[in-house]
Amino acid sequence: MIKIGILASYNGSGFETLQKAINDKKIDAQIVVVITNNTNAKVLEKAEKYDIPNFIINDKRYPGQDIDDKITRLLLEFGCDYVFLSGYMKKIESKLIAAYHNKIINTHPALLPSSYGGKGMYGRNVHEAIIKNGEKKSGVTIHFVNEVYDDGEIILTKELELDDNETVDSLESKIKDLESLAIIEAFQKVLANH
Ligand SMILES: Nc1nc2c(c(=O)[nH]1)N[C@@H](CN(C=O)c1ccc(C(=O)N[C@@H](CCC(=O)O)C(=O)O)cc1)CN2
Ligand SMILES: NCC(=O)N[C@@H]1O[C@H](COP(=O)([O-])[O-])[C@@H](O)[C@H]1O
């Protein structure tokens, strides 16, 4: 059975999408651990709901320790084959990348490559920039993770056209819906080649 570890900073909506797809037999895998950097992350409640071991790992909780090493060791201890970044807001560092080369998958709420990726481009910031710049389309990119933000090999993208009166809230909602489809399709594609 392919094992997946989750890294998330907030709600972990992508994690729940993946878990529901697993429960619905759309994806043959098991989510075995959830890790967050955020003590208040709602993803912790979701992990408990699905009876998945969950951990908070951040500098405050482990002052002076190597967070990269700690996360990597935990994912390895749980036997993870893949790592899914479900709205994880911290840079993935060298030890985790080395341990999981082209096995870390991220979902980004814009089309890449573009100026809507990289440092500062996360969550609502992305949608605000898209609308401010008068873009006519946006979308979702699922990609493998390398040392650089939003620079890894692209697994798939899904596009949408913006309405004339699109707002940040309306775009965020549409992107979230599109993202759910993209996550399922991307994992089916990756696991088919496992
Ligand atoms: N090595 C990599 N690490 C991460 C990647 C990646 O592609 N390579 N993707 C991100 C997810 N992400 C976009 O998809 C992303 C997340 C956060 C940021 C960002 O600018 N973060 C801020 C800190 C924000 C915070 O502390 O809440 C920063 O670095 O200053 C950019 C892109 C996950 N990691
Ligand atoms: N650049 C990374 C980034 O912006 N990721 C985005 O964070 C959201 C997390 O939402 P959630 O906490 O509700 O799952 C997700 O929509 C994801 O695309």
pLDDT of 43: 98
Helices then strands, each counted (H, E), the chain: 6, 7
Out of 38, 86, 92, 127, give the residue to mutate to test ligand 2, the one with the largest number of ligand atoms within 8 Å of its CB: 86
Closest Cα to atom 9 of ligand 1:
149
**Closest ligand (CA of 118):** 1
Q: How many CB atoms lie within 10 A of CB 64?
A: 5
Is ipTM strictly over 0.85?
yes
Which long-range contacts does 76-81 make (Cβ < 8 Å, 24+ apart)? Answer: 78/3, 78/5, 78/32, 78/33, 78/53, 79/3, 79/32, 80/3, 80/4, 80/5, 80/32, 80/33, 81/2, 81/3, 81/4, 81/194
Sign of the torsion formed by the C-alpha atoms of 77, 78, 83 and 87: negative
Give pLDDT tens digits for 28-67.
999 999 999 999 999 999 999 999 999 999 999 999 999 9
Closest CA to 9 of 88, 66, 85: 88
pLDDT of 173: 98
Give pLDDT tens digits for 60-82.
999 999 999 999 999 999 999 99
Out of 16, 17, 176, give the residue to mutate to test ligand 2, the one with the largest number of ligand atoms within 8 Å of its CB: 176
pLDDT of 127: 98
Q: Is 73 annotated as a binding residue?
A: no
pLDDT of 31: 99
* Residue showing tokens 């909506």: 13
Q: Is the CB of 107 under 6 A from ligand 2?
A: yes
Closest Cα to atom 31 of ligand 1:
119
Ligand 1 atom with minimal separation from the 88 CA: 33
CA distances from 69 to 63, 72, 92, 98, 115 (A): 13, 5, 11, 11, 31
pLDDT of 172: 98
pLDDT band, residue 116 (cuts 50/70/90)? very high
Question: How would you list the strands of the sheet with 2-8, edge to edge?
Answer: 54-56, 29-36, 2-8, 82-85, 104-108, 137-144, 154-161
- What mean pLDDT value characterizes the chain? 98
Q: Is the CB of 83 under 6 A from ligand 1?
A: no
Q: Ligand 1 center to residue 149 CA distance, Å?
A: 6
Residues designated as active site: 108
Give pLDDT tens digits for 133-164.
999 999 999 999 999 999 999 999 999 999 99
Q: Ligand 2 center to residue 178 CA distance, Å?
A: 12
Which structural domains are found in the chain, ordered by start?
2-100 (3.40.50.170)
- Three-class SS state of 107: strand
